[in-house]
Structure 1
Amino acid sequence: MADTLPAIEVDSNAGSFVSDSAFEDGTSTASASLASSVIDYVYENGRRYHAYRKGQYVLPNDPEEQDRLDLGHHLFRLLLGGKLFQAPIDPENKRVLDIGTGTGIWAIDVGDEYPNAQVIGTDLSPIQPTWIPPNVRFYVDDAESDWVYPADEAFDLIHGRGLSGAIGDWDRLIRQSFNNLKPGGWLEFHEAEAQAQSDDDTVERAVSTMEFVRLCNDAARQFGREVSCAHLIKDRMINAGFVDVTCEMMKVPIGVWSKSKRLKEIGRFQGENCISGVEPYTLGFIGKGLGWTELECKVFVAKVIAELRDPKNHFYSLFYFVHGKKPE
Structure 2
Amino acid sequence: MDDERIAVDPDLHRPNDPDYPDDWQSETTSIGSSIYKGMMENGRRYQSLRNEEYCVPADDQQFEAYEAGHLLALILEANTDNPLFRSPVGNNPKHILDLGTGKGNWAIDVADMFPNATVRGVDLFPPPVSWMPPNCVLEVDDALREWTWREPFDLIHMRIMTASWTDSEWDRIYQQCYNNLQPGGWIEQLEAIPPVECDDGSLPSDSILNTWGPYTMDCARKAGRELNAMDIMTEKIRQAGFVDIHVKEYKWPIGPWARDQQFKEAGMVQLHHWLSGMDGWCMWLLTKFGSPQPWTKEEVQIYVAKLRKDIKNPRYHTYQKAKRVWARKPFPDEISKVHIKKEDIE
TM-score when scaled to structure 2? Answer: 0.87
- Are 1:78 and 2:81 counterparts? no
Tell me what 1:310 maps to: 313
CA contact (8 A) 1:99 1:159 kept: yes
Partners of 1:231 and 1:40 in 2: CA distance: 34
Aligned to 2:14: 16
Q: Does 1:276 pair with 2:276?
A: yes
Equivalent residue, structure 1, for 2:335: none
Cα separation, 2, equivalents of 1:285 and 1:121: 26
Q: Where do residues 55-94 of structure 1 align in structure 2 (5 Å cutoff)? A: 55-81=52-78, 83-90=83-90, 92-94=92-94
**Percent identity of paired positions between Structure 1 and Structure 2:** 35
Runs of 4+ in structure 1 displaced over 4 angstroms?
17-23
Which residue pairs with 1:154 in the alignment? Answer: 152
Looking at structure 1, the residues matched to 51 and 280 of structure 2 have their Cα atoms a distance apart, in angstroms, of 16
Q: Distance in 2 between matches of 1:306 and 1:66?
A: 22
SS across alignment from 2:245: strand
CA contact (8 A) 1:92 1:114 kept: yes
Q: 1:213-224 maps to which residues of 2 (within 5 A)? A: 213-224=213-224
The 3 A distance-change label for structure 1 pair 269 and 55 is farther
Gaps of 5+ in 2: 332-346
* 1:285 aligned partner: 285
List alignment gaps of at least 5 residues for structure 1.
none
Secondary structure of residue in 2 paired with 1:321: strand
**Aligned equivalent of 1:297, options 300, 314, 338:** 300
Once the two structures are superposed, residues 271-308 of structure 1 have per-residue CA deviations (whole angstroms, 9 ceiling, x without a partner) of 12112222112212112332210111111111111111
Q: Secondary structure in 1 aligned to 2:197? A: coil
Alignment pair present for 1:48 and 2:51 = no
Q: Is the 8 A contact 2:195 2:212 kept in 1?
A: no
| TM-score, normalization by structure 1 | 0.91
What is the RMSD computed on CA atoms of the aligned residues?
Answer: 2.0
Instruction: Specify the alignment match of 1:209 in structure 2.
Output: 209
User: SS in structure 2 opposite 1:64?
Assistant: helix
Change (3 A) 1:23 1:92: farther
Which residue identity does 1:104 align to in structure 2?
G
C-alpha offsets along residues 210-237 of structure 1, whole Å, 9 cap, x if unaligned?
A: 2121110011122211213302211211
Which has the larger displacement, 87-96 or 132-141? 87-96
Distance 1:263 1:105 in 2: 22
SS of the residue corresponding to residue 319 of structure 1 reads strand
SS of 2:45's equivalent?
strand
Secondary structure at the aligned position of 1:304 is classed as: helix
For these two proteins, the number of residue pairs brought into alignment is 321
1:179-208, Cα deviation, whole Å (9 max, x unpaired): 110000000001112221111234462531
Instruction: Answer 1 or 2: which has greater helix percent.
Output: 1
Separation in 1 of the partners of 2:6 and 2:57? 33
- In 2, the alpha carbon distance for the partners of 1:234 and 1:127 equals 28
